[in-house]
Structure 1
Amino acid sequence: MRSAAPAPVRRSVRSVGAPVIAALLALGGAVTGCASSGPAPAPAAAPSVDAVPTLATADGRALPIARFLISPDEDRRIEAARTALIGSCMKRFGFDYAPPALGTKPDLMTRRYYLTDAASAAAQGYHWGPSADQRQPSAAPQPPAPELQAVLGHGRGGPDSSTEPAGRTHNGVAIPPGGCLGEADDTLTRGGGILQDDAGALEINGRGFTDSMADGRVKAAFAAWSRCMKEKGQTYASPVDAVRDERWFSSPTATAPEIAAATADVDCKQRNNVVGIWFAVETAYQNRAVQADAKRLEQARKAIDVTLANAAAAKAP
């Protein structure tokens, strides 16, 4: 099975046991263009790169936009507070209920530059996660009983929130607008907080990746990688082509040819410092974009901090 791209918003459910390919390839489609009736603007000059680190992997590194996105740790803190708020609200109505646990938000750098771990390549090729026989099927979540659902609600702005009648009660207790989900979200966003990543920050995150892929310095690194791969009997123009090889789609686990290609892929990345060059170039593009939109991005950071403060207060004894 091929996973969907790691969703940028904080409420995404983690995909388990799927190969990395679809999640990574989707990074290039993160930006949508706008049609224009006028002539296309001249492309901006490529930003300069001050230094290129030598990197086998980008794990543990941070891109400039990361500061303006909800991190996995921040996401966990917010979700823990939200769970506690919903449970407390539901208890007022006589329900012992907690929302289902959501998947962990993936780190921004997880396989951002495709496969870089030699051990993973040797064991799983381009497949990512536990094997099929290790995965346990999960039962589809059952909808809550009608009375419980009426109290739980759909949150502020949920699909049915606009049709909920005002003044609803349960056992004589007024149901908050949007139900307990709405109350929890209102508490966490009080004072200007946000529960999802800022759209502009997400756009910069996707555009930086796309721009780096088209940059001459990254293309030159890909060309060196391709020559290295050719010497190992692997014919691919870029790491993207290696991941996209249709042969890998036909098997739920890595085959011997896939492992051979993946192992060569990682070695050639390391020999030619592909990750270091790619990371440096993308950092330069993101730095330029962040500087151009600094005021609005700082507002997004403040909004995240408001939510985190509200989450900490909600969990305080």
Structure 2
Amino acid sequence: MHRWKLALLTAGLLATTATGCAGGTSAPDPAARAGGAAHRAAGDPQRTLHLAEQLLVRTCMTKRGHEYWVEPPPPKDLAARFPLVVDDPAWARAHGYGTDLRRRREAEVRADPNQKYFRSASAANRSDLVRDLNGPEPRGLSARLPNGMRVTHSDRGCQAAAQRELYGDLKAWFRATRVTGALDGMRLGLVTADKRYRTALAPWARCMRGKGHPYADPAASRAAATRADRPWPHAKEVRLASAEAACAASSGLADVARALNTEYRVELGRRHPRETADLARLRREALPRARAIVAREG
């Protein structure tokens, strides 16, 4: 989620926002920040695509009279890193369920110059930022998700303009990203409902009980340790996550989860071949343009 989107949701607005430095605060130089990001993006296609899009957004917003700081791609959260079960003992020993990383991320968001600029802007200027970044209304782009829900977005504004320049076919890009994103949630539902996964949970749960953690599945242990209204001490969180990882390996749950995750990813890709193929094609075709944009503007 874009950091301005977080700010806007907090402010009770409906779309994402934009930019700059707050009065009375100092912010990193945009060119220096982009240059550092360009160095980090070298050789990483996904980071290169992200950086190129951000640079295009910055150029567009500058033309509309706003400040804009290029934002790095968000780090993977726990759900993205371990969607089914924590299975990396070293990571668990360091981070538990990642609440330390989440708090660090939240602090970074609060300190972000784009956030500061948004918070310091008047109500009228905030509306301008929303409109110029996201377009005046959610029309022009549409996608029907696998569950039947239709999602829409503006085909105007700097975000859309940047994606159009980078990916060419904006409508295909919007549809492909929204549909494949929805498939991630579907895949996890299919895995956790699969008899093979449910069977593998039994020895995992026995292992966890033997370590003093009576949880029926990884979702329950994760939920217990990560409640925002009842934060656990880091050491306690680490002990539980480490037990989960150890039991995932010894019970075989980790292997079953990985195999089923791959199996259903392939299956869902076959069910939705158009969007899956479009996403891969659009990214592949955009990469040379992204590299040229980074070289030119980064």
d(CA) in 1 for partners of 2:104, 2:275: 47
d(CA) in 2 for partners of 1:306, 1:87: 22
Match of 1:233 in 2: 212
Match of 2:74 in 1: 104
Q: Deviation of residue 232 (structure 1)?
A: 1.9
d(CA) in 1 for partners of 2:184, 2:252: 22
Amino acid at match of 1:189: Y
Contact 2:85 2:244 in 1 (8 A): no
d(CA) in 2 for partners of 1:196, 1:105: 24
Cα 1:256–1:141, aligned 2, differ >3 Å: closer, same or farther? closer
| 1:159 matched to 2:136 | yes
Matched position secondary structure for 1:194: helix
Match of 1:273 in 2: 252
Q: Deviation of residue 84 (structure 1)?
A: 3.1
How do residues 176-215 of structure 1 correspond to structure 2 at under 5 angstroms?
A: 178=156, 183-191=161-169, 194=173, 198-215=177-194
How do residues 1-317 of structure 1 correspond to structure 2 at under 5 angstroms?
A: 11=2, 73-88=44-59, 97-104=67-74, 106=76, 110-130=81-101, 135=107, 137-138=110-111, 140-143=115-118, 154-155=132-133, 158-159=135-136, 178=156, 183-191=161-169, 194=173, 198-245=177-224, 249=228, 251-254=230-233, 257-317=236-296
- What are the superposed Cα offsets for residues 165-204 of structure 1, whole Å, 9 maximum, x if unpaired? xxxxxxxxxxxx9565554343223345626852222232
- What are the superposed Cα offsets for residues 131-184 of structure 1, whole Å, 9 maximum, x if unpaired? 9699565264324798999799624x623698xxxxxxxxxxxxxx95655543
Whose helix fraction is larger, Structure 1's or Structure 2's? 2
d(CA) in 1 for partners of 2:227, 2:271: 41
Match of 1:24 in 2: none
Q: CA RMSD in A?
A: 4.1
d(CA) in 2 for partners of 1:261, 1:147: 47
d(CA) in 2 for partners of 1:220, 1:301: 34
Contact 1:195 1:307 in 2 (8 A): no
d(CA) in 2 for partners of 1:121, 1:297: 32
- What are the superposed Cα offsets for residues 197-236 of structure 1, whole Å, 9 maximum, x if unpaired? 5222223222111111011111111101111122222211
d(CA) in 1 for partners of 2:104, 2:178: 38
TM-score scaled by length of structure 1: 0.58
Contact 2:62 2:68 in 1 (8 A): no
d(CA) in 2 for partners of 1:96, 1:158: 15
Larger relative contact order (CA 8 Å, sep ≥ 6): 1
Structure 2 spans left out of the alignment, 5+ residues: 7-43, 140-154
Cα 1:194–1:99, aligned 2, differ >3 Å: closer, same or farther? farther
Q: Deviation of residue 120 (structure 1)?
A: 3.9
Q: Deviation of residue 278 (structure 1)?
A: 0.8
Contact 2:225 2:231 in 1 (8 A): no
Matched position secondary structure for 1:310: helix
Cα 1:79–1:152, aligned 2, differ >3 Å: closer, same or farther? farther
Amino acid at match of 2:48: R
Match of 1:18 in 2: none
- What are the superposed Cα offsets for residues 274-301 of structure 1, whole Å, 9 maximum, x if unpaired? 1111111222222222223324421232
Matched position secondary structure for 1:142: helix
Amino acid at match of 2:164: D
TM-score scaled by length of structure 2: 0.61
Matched position secondary structure for 2:262: helix
d(CA) in 2 for partners of 1:262, 1:90: 43
Cα 1:220–1:178, aligned 2, differ >3 Å: closer, same or farther? closer
- Say how many residue pairs are matched: 235
